[in-house]
Amino acid sequence: MAPAPVGEHVLVKIAGPGVFVCAEVTRQNDPPGVSFVSLDLDGRNVVSISFEAARNWGLTQSNPTGVVLLENKPISTLTIGYPLPLHFARELILKVNVREMGVAQILANVIHGT
């Protein structure tokens, strides 16, 4: 398997209108460096955080920020979800900016509705 290339990658793009319920982005290999996950609704940024920042800020268990990092080396999963669904009119974009060598795989899932 070829590693994920360094750079920005759109993982999920959904045309609106719709409702964002939750998302997860999984990174395999946990290399040193930084990879950012961003969630944008209608061109407005809702979340922009790296796996490393989530770990450093202690977002490794349930908390009110809506972002949780689950780790089971060598796999890290960043989850995004809020108590209430977020509505979007035009589009939802979930992307990752890989800034490290050696990421074996990036996977994403979004749960959404109409």
The residue-averaged pLDDT of 12-22 equals 97
Q: How many CA atoms within 13 Å lie on the side-chain side of 95?
A: 15
Distance from C-alpha of 66 to C-alpha of 7, rounded to nearest angstrom:
25
Architecture of domain 7-113: Sandwich (2.60)
Selected residue with higher pLDDT from 12 and 5? 12
State whether the Cα torsion 52-57-60-65 is positive or negative: negative
Residue 48 has a pLDDT of 96
Instruction: Decide: 15 and 93 in contact? Cβ < 8 Å.
Output: no
Measure the N-to-C terminal CA separation of the chain; round to a whole number of Å.
36
Name the residue ranges covered by the structural domains of the chain: 7-113
Give the containing element (helix H, strand E) for 37. strand 34-41
Mean pLDDT of 13-33: 91
Q: Give yes or no for a contact between 25 and 77, defined as CB atoms under 8 angstroms apart.
A: yes
Q: Model confidence at 75, in pLDDT bands (50, 70, 90)?
A: very high
The residue among 99 and 80 whose pLDDT is bigger is 80
Q: Report which DSSP code applies to 57.
A: T
**What integer pLDDT is reported at residue 68 of this predicted model?**
96
Predicted structure pTM score: 0.91
